[in-house]
Amino acid sequence: EVQLVESGGALVQPGRSLRLSCAASGFTFHDYTMHWVRQAPGKGLEWVSGISWNSGSIDQADSVKGRFTISRDNAKNALYLQMNSLRPEDTALYYCAKSYYGGNSYYFDYWGQGTLVTVSS
């Protein structure tokens, strides 16, 4: 059974940093591209960042470029999101998601339950 368990969410002040983690199990982690997707309270889904199986390629949303860094440790079956210079608009539930390449676009076949990040003074 595929499981994705996020952790690391917290209440932080604007300008501070936070590191999210996602522990993966039930599938061959190093075979798949992984992503972070967030959802602000009462709002829709927003893609944040994706990383290739070997960390060789990374993409990020414009809204987090220069502030957030995605990484992974295949030996530990873990995905990370380093979040720097946090802003109130980064307040959201952050989901770790396993992706699959379907023909010509990625989709997310498994999601974690999310970890909540609140940025407020």
Partner 1 sequence: SYELTQVPSVSVSPGQTASITCSGDALAKHYGHWYQQKPGQAPVLLIKQDNERPSGIPERFSGSSSGTIMTLTISGVQAEDEADYYCQSAGSGGIYSVVFGGGTKLTVL
Give yes or no for residue 104 binding partner 1 (CB under 8 A): yes
Cα 106 to chain center, whole Å?
15
Which tokens in the block code for residue 41? 């309270």
Residues in binding contact with partner 1, number by CB under 8 A:
31
Site string for partner 1, 63-92 (x = CB under 8 A): ------------------------------
Site string for partner 1, 36-65 (x = CB under 8 A): -x------xxxx--xxx----xxxxxx---
Q: Judged by CB, which is closer to partner 1: 12, or 60? A: 60
The CA distance from 34 to 77, in Å, is: 11
Identify the residue among 95, 115, 117, 119 touching partner 1 (CB under 8 A). Answer: 95
What are the beta bridge partners of residue 18? 83
Residue 7 Cβ vs partner 1, minimum distance, rounded to whole Å: 15
Task: Assign 3-class secondary structure to 39-99.
Answer: ECCCCCEEEEEEECCCCCCEEECCCCCCCEEEEEECCCCEEEEEECCCCHHHCEEEEEEEE
Applying CB under 8 A, which residues contact partner 1? Answer: 33, 35, 37, 44-47, 50-52, 57-62, 95, 99-100, 102-109, 111-114
